[in-house]
Amino acid sequence: MFAQIFLGIFMIIMGISHLLNKRLFLQKNIENLVSDVRSYQKGAALSCCLSGILFITMGIIEKKAIFETSTFVITYIFLAIIPLTIAILNNKKHSGKYLVR
C-alpha cells in the first residue's frame, strides 16, 4: 500500500514537472525524437497525473479492503487503461511511434 502511495506521489511530481516544462524527468532520446517538446510534455503531464491519482486512490482502497481481490484487480486494470492510452497516443502523436525507447 505504501509503495503505491509513494509511487503515486512521484508520478504526480513528475506530471507537475512536465507541466512546468522542467526537463528533469525527460529522457534524452525523447528530446531527439520529438520536435515540439513542450507539447509532448503537456500530454505527458496529464498521463502522469492521472496515473498518480490512480495509484494513490487504489492504494487507499486496498488498505481499507473495500473490494474483493478479483474485483479490485479488474477495476485496477480497467482504470489503468485510461492513462496508458493517453501516454501511448501522446507518443504516437509527437514521435510517430507508439512506444519511445
| Dihedral angle sign, alpha carbons of residues 99, 24, 31, 83 | positive
The three cell numbers locating residue 60: 487507499
DSSP 67: S
Residue 60 confidence (pLDDT) above 80: yes
Question: Taking every pair of C-alpha atoms in the chain, what is the biggest distance, in angstroms?
Answer: 46
- How confident is the model over 44-73, as a mean pLDDT? 93
Phi, psi of 67 (to 5 degrees): -105, 160
- Kindly report, residue by residue over 14-49, the tens digit of the pLDDT: 999 999 988 888 888 888 888 888 999 998 999 999
Cβ-based neighbours of 76, under 8 Å, separated by 6 or more: 54, 58
How far is Cα 32 from Cα 63, in angstroms, rounded to an integer? 42
In this prediction, residue 75 carries a pLDDT of 94
Q: pTM, whole model, 2 decimals?
A: 0.87
